[in-house]
Amino acid sequence: MSRRDPGVAGVLFDCYGTLVDVLTDEHDIETYRLLSRWLLYQGVRIAPERLRATYSGRVAEAAGRTGERYPEVRVEEVFAGICAEHAVWEVDTDRLGAETARAFRAASLRRLGVIEESRRLLDRFGTARTGVVSNGQRVFSEQEMRVLGVYDRVGFVIFSSDLGYQKPDPRIYAAALRRLGLSARDVLFIGDNYENDVDAPRRLGMQGLHVEEAWRRYGV
SS3 197: helix
Q: Tell me the C-alpha to C-alpha distance, in Å, between residue 213 and each of 21, 199, 209.
A: 17, 14, 6
Q: Which of 110, 126, 161 is the last residue of a domain?
A: 110
In sequence order, which ranges of the chain are alpha helices (DSSP H)? 29-40, 48-66, 75-86, 93-108, 116-124, 138-147, 160-163, 170-180, 200-203, 211-217
Domain harbouring 123, CATH code: 3.40.50.1000
pLDDT higher than threshold 90 for residue 1: no
Q: Is residue 24 part of a domain?
A: no
Taking only the tens place, the pLDDT of each residue in 91-134 is: 999 999 999 999 999 999 999 999 999 999 999 998 789 999 99
Selection from 111, 125, 127, 141 nearest residue 15 by Cα: 141
Q: Say how far apart CA 35 and CA 47 lie, in whole Å.
A: 10
pLDDT band at 30 (very low <50, low <70, confident <90, very high): very high
76 and 124 in a single domain? The answer is no
Q: Judge whether 204 lies within some domain.
A: yes
Last residue of a domain, one of 110, 138, 153: 110
Domain that holds residue 77: 29-110
pLDDT at residue 3 in the model: 39
Residues 141 and 70 in one domain: no
What is the tally of structural domains in the chain? 2
Is 34 part of a structural domain of the chain? Answer: yes
Question: CA-to-CA distance for 107 and 191, rounded, in angstroms?
Answer: 26
**Taking the model in full, what pTM does it have?**
0.93
168 and 143 within one domain: yes
DSSP calls for 153-185: GSS-EEEHHHHTB-TT-HHHHHHHHHHHT--GG
What's the pLDDT tens digit per position in 172-217? 999 999 999 999 999 999 999 999 999 999 999 999 999 999 999 9
Are 154 and 210 within one domain? Answer: yes
